[in-house]
Structures are given as C-alpha cells and as structure tokens.
Chains A and B, each alone.
Chain A
C-alpha cells in the first residue's frame, strides 16, 4: 500500500495511480456538500445555471461541520455517510468531479462512474471530527448559507488524511462480512 501527497485540482494522472488501501494526504481546496446542498446543486444544473464552484478536478467532502468556536477556522468536521449522495455522484463525476470524501459503502452506479470517468472515493475516519478539523486551515461559506451546517463551503486543507476506499480500476477496500463465521444465512 502506497502513500501519496496530492494537491487539488486533481488530474487523471493523480487518480489512475491510486489503489484501494493507499493512504493519501490531500492539500488545496475541497468543497463541502451533503444531502440538501446536492439537491440545490442539481436544481442549478437542471436549470442550466452555473454552479458555485468549478467541478473540473474537484473533490467534494460530505460533511456538515459544527460551528467554529472563537479562534478556530472550523468546528469538528468529520465525514457523513456517503450512500445518501449515491444518486448524485455519477453525474458529478461525468461533469468533472474527481473525488468524493466520506464514509461507508457506495452503490454500483457510483463505482461504475468512477471507472468510466477516472474518479476515486476516499474515506476519512468517521467520528474523528475534532482531529480532522486540524487539517482544515480555512473555511468560507460560498453558497446556500441558509442551509446552516449543510451550506457549501470552500475549505483549505493541508495534508488531510484519507484512505482510498474505491479506486478507478474497480478495487475496493472494505472488508466483506464473514457471514459463515458469524453463523448467519
């Protein structure tokens, strides 16, 4: 398992070399968006309007941070469960998104889109929100302020610690549950 340092915007060359299980320290700008923000982004796309950020080479982080206390750029900021964004991710990959960051399983449609459009799915440690916030140096709401924790934020990250869960070659890191050992049908 290899270790890489990558910087956004991400290129196909960055993504192709990644294999499930690799460790990536990501720097640059990433965008936060979860359920409600994705819905709004799609309303913009359907209306033929411009998105609040450039999808080309982008990494979207499924996160709804807690409020920033005085003296910190952001509150706790760990990943939310990704499957809820599965209906949105394939189209975003087709439009240039290179990476999504979250926790938990993805659908077959998302995995196929990553193969087709050279994308990657990174896992961050769920429930380590305080620790992960240490890698975020700046955070600004750039759209949908009314959504509160679900607003779209531009986040500057330095060496954000990630694991490649699904790579662009069909590889997956998650353990397959051993049903037989656990005695279930």
Chain B
C-alpha cells in the first residue's frame, strides 16, 4: 500500500486548474498552427491568428484563455494499492478546484439548474472514478465550456442504422451547431454502452491528445472518415467559412445491448483545455 495525502491532491488539482486554463496544450497549439498554414481564406486565417495570439497572451499574463473556465471535469484512476490519507478523495478534488479557481482568478461557472444561483466557488466538479492495478493516482482534468457542451447530444439509434446512421447523426449535429460552439471544434464520440455510458465515453474521448491514433486501425479509419466529412461542411473557424471545422474526431467504442445502438456526440471547442497529473 502506498499512501497519498489529501493535501498533496488538493495542491495538484489547484495547479492543474490554473495551468489548464492559462496554457494552451502543445497538441492543440500545433493543430491550430497546422490549420493556419492550410487555410487560404483571409477571415479563417485571421481567426486562427487571433487564437494563437490569445494563447501567447494568456501564457504571459496568466489571464485565462477563455472567460468561460468551464465546469471542472475529472477522470480519476485510483490504483488498487493506493490509500488516501487525510480525508476523502472526492472532497480533496473539490477543495483543489475551489483553491485553483479562487487563486487563479478563474471564472466560477457552476450554478443551481433551477434557481440559477452560482455556487460561488466553481464546485462541484464532475468526477468519474475508475479503479486500476498499481500504486498510482492519475487525475485528468478538463475545463469544459458551456457553449460547446450545449451543442452536444445523445441518441439511441436502431441497430439497423449502423455506421451510416452514426455518420449522418454526427455530421448533422456539427452542421446544425454551425458557428455556436466556437469552431474549429474537437468532436468526442461515444458508441455503445447504455444511454449514460455513451455520454461518458464520448467525454472520455475528448481527454485524448489530438495527435494520437486510435490503436484499433478500423476505428482510427472511421475517425479520419468523419473528420474529413465534417471539414467538407466548410463551416470553418468561428463559422466564417474555411477548411477547418474540426481539429480532430475522437471515438470510443464499447459493447452495448443487443437491442440498442447508443450514440453520444460531445462537442468541444478549440479551447481544448486538458491537463493530467500522476501522483
């Protein structure tokens, strides 16, 4: 058994929230630079130029990249041989969010869904736990903005609709969202599981690096097929037209019920803020 103190978790989470909101990850930056080189339309180029300048400015001033510092979403892998000391793991993560969003001058965007009263400190975080072999604690954080999240959908297709039905639904969703989710977007897709699980694995897909390749060549090819089709929509950066409507499509496929074909499309903006730490 390895012991990890909750105080260490609080500090690590706070640091991730601040870094995640002020430093654009290298994989996202590289993809935006590539898009800028490929675009020919002046308006598309100008948007991408502004986004890169914004990233430099955020890095230098420690201002957040975007005023919407998101809901704090975590995927946590707890090693079987880890013991948390000093309190509860969920509380420690929320304490870290409170600290990071406070000390980092990040916007607190969590509110009661009915009264709309702001919770005041950015909590509660959305936390997904998993248990894995080993003696490490892995925390993956994402600042998930509301504008792009609002464009996301879950649907239950009929099995007969198959891959063709999936393609139609995903591309239509992106077409209907148009300029709203701050394109160029990243599209996280969850196929399989149950209604709730499809949404969770769609979100988990967004935690992947933009430049990775899915280990299953068939799924990797399907991700490419969707990415190319979406980019043929021509929505472009900020919806002003262009070749780059999505930066990347990431898919997770898991078994489902014989009667179902659950599909979730989680839309993420160009401000693809993700961080991870292993304790």
User: Could you tell me the dominant secondary structure of chain A's interface residues?
Assistant: loop
Which of A51-59, A107-115, A171-179 makes up part of the contact surface?
A171-179
Are B240 and A173 interface neighbours, CB within 8 A? yes
Which residues of chain A come closer than 8 Å to B235, judged between CB atoms? Answer: 175, 177
Are B68 and A64 interface neighbours, CB within 8 A? yes
Checking B50, B63, B105, B181 against A125 with a beta-carbon cut-off of 8 angstroms, the contacting residue is B50
A26 to chain B, nearest CB (A): 16
Checking B62, B105, B232 against A68 with a beta-carbon cut-off of 8 angstroms, the contacting residue is B105
Q: What are 25 A-to-B residue pairs whose CB atoms are below 8 Å? A: A35-B116, A64-B68, A64-B109, A66-B69, A66-B105, A78-B66, A78-B68, A80-B146, A81-B150, A125-B47, A126-B238, A127-B54, A127-B269, A129-B54, A131-B53, A174-B239, A175-B234, A175-B239, A175-B241, A177-B235, A178-B234, A179-B175, A182-B171, A184-B175, A185-B168
B interface residues, Cβ below 8 angstroms from A: 43, 47, 50-51, 53-54, 57-58, 61-69, 105-109, 116, 118, 120, 145-147, 150, 167-168, 171-172, 174-175, 178-182, 229-230, 232-236, 238-242, 269-271
Which of A42-50, A69-77, A90-98 makes up part of the contact surface?
A69-77
Report Cα–Cα, A185/B167, bound state, in Å.
11
A interface residues, Cβ below 8 angstroms from B: 21, 35-36, 63-69, 72, 75-78, 80-81, 83, 103-105, 123, 125-131, 133-134, 147-150, 163, 173-175, 177-179, 181-185
Report Cα–Cα, A86/B249, bound state, in Å.
30
* Given A67-B107, A105-B178, A130-B57, A174 contacting B68 (CB threshold 8 A): no
* Given A125-B51, A130-B54, A182 contacting B63 (CB threshold 8 A): no
Which residues of chain B come closer than 8 Å to A80, judged between CB atoms? Answer: 68, 146-147
* Given A104-B147, A104-B178, A69 contacting B67 (CB threshold 8 A): no
Report Cα–Cα, A104/B145, bound state, in Å.
15
Are A130 and B61 interface neighbours, CB within 8 A? yes
